[in-house]
Amino acid sequence: MDVASVASLLALGLGCGFLAGLLGVGGGMVMAPLLAAVLAWQGVALDMQVHVAIATAMATILFTSLSSARAHSRRGAVRWHVVAAMVPGLILGGLLSGGAAFALLPAAWLALGFGLFVGYSALRMLTARPVAADRALPGALGLGAAGTGIGFISGLVGAGGGFLSVPFMTRRNVPLAHAIGTSAALGFPIAAANTVGYVWSGWHETTGQPGMFGFIAWPVLIVVSIASMLAAPVGAAMAHRLPVHRLKRAFAGMLFLLACYMLWKSYTAFVA
């Protein structure tokens, strides 16, 4: 990689790491489209850009989530019993997604479903009435089932699951700061399972290509991960200083932007 590529990847890692700490997202949904542009600039084949961008973005969450979760845990904002109950489902969903469905689903339909779902989640976060005081998280079985869905969907878009797990928890009376912290911890098992799947499903596709490990571009992974791990604690510190309503608006605003982007990608894919 040349100096300009390394600089752009460092800037991308810093920005996504900050978002990971601030909003409990892995940064993958933001990172993937930007990584695709960098990969195109580096001359990666067109038919590989999206797969490599999504897989590499997810792999960075292995490192970003650890840094972010550690910072939130120090402030007592990670509900580890929730993490433990969801891990089996997260791993199952991630393996099914990254190891199979990721390489099979048409990109246009995937982008359309993703955009609609994320837009709906953002709208609910801004307009939903306060939940009933007795509405709580489900038991271990329900959390495991939720984890399977979150792990599966996250793997299709290269995300750490915060866009699903944060709304899921806040609608069940989990304070936003705790939902963000717990979501940061959930990012690691999601990323681990899907990364294994991406390597498996992309192994034969990228054999012999320099810098590739399955669908993961490991030189890009190293540069971005270093930057994101440095920035994640800064975002986590900000998450505990900003008022709840501002965090909620920021999170919903980010979801709306992502939804619009994915709907646009879906449109361009359908008319191509």
Q: pLDDT tens digits for 27-42?
A: 666 777 778 777 777 7
As given in the structure block, the two tokens for residue 38 are 């960098």
The residues spanned by each domain of the chain are 3-271
Cβ-in-10-Å burial (0-12, 13-18, 19+) of 3 comes to: exposed
pLDDT of 184:
86
* C-alpha–C-alpha distance, residues 80 and 259, integer Å: 30
Has this prediction a pTM greater than 0.85?
no
Angle at 57 between CA 55 and CA 62, to 5 degrees: 95
> Which tens digit of pLDDT belongs to each residue from 56-97?
888 888 888 888 888 889 889 899 999 999 999 999 998 888
pLDDT at 231 over 80: yes
Question: Is the CA virtual torsion 91, 50, 38, 157 positive or negative?
Answer: negative
Q: Which residues contact 255 (CB under 8 A, 6 or more apart)?
A: 118, 119, 121, 122, 125, 163
> How large is the average pLDDT for residues 225-253?
78
Q: CB-hemisphere CA count at 13 Å for 155? A: 36
Which of 3-12, 54-63, 162-171, 236-245 is least confident? 236-245
As given in the structure block, the two tokens for residue 171 are 């609608």
pLDDT of 23:
67
Q: Which residue has the tokens 């963000």?
A: 180
> Which tens digit of pLDDT belongs to each residue from 16-30?
778 767 766 656 667
* C-alpha–C-alpha distance, residues 171 and 155, integer Å: 23
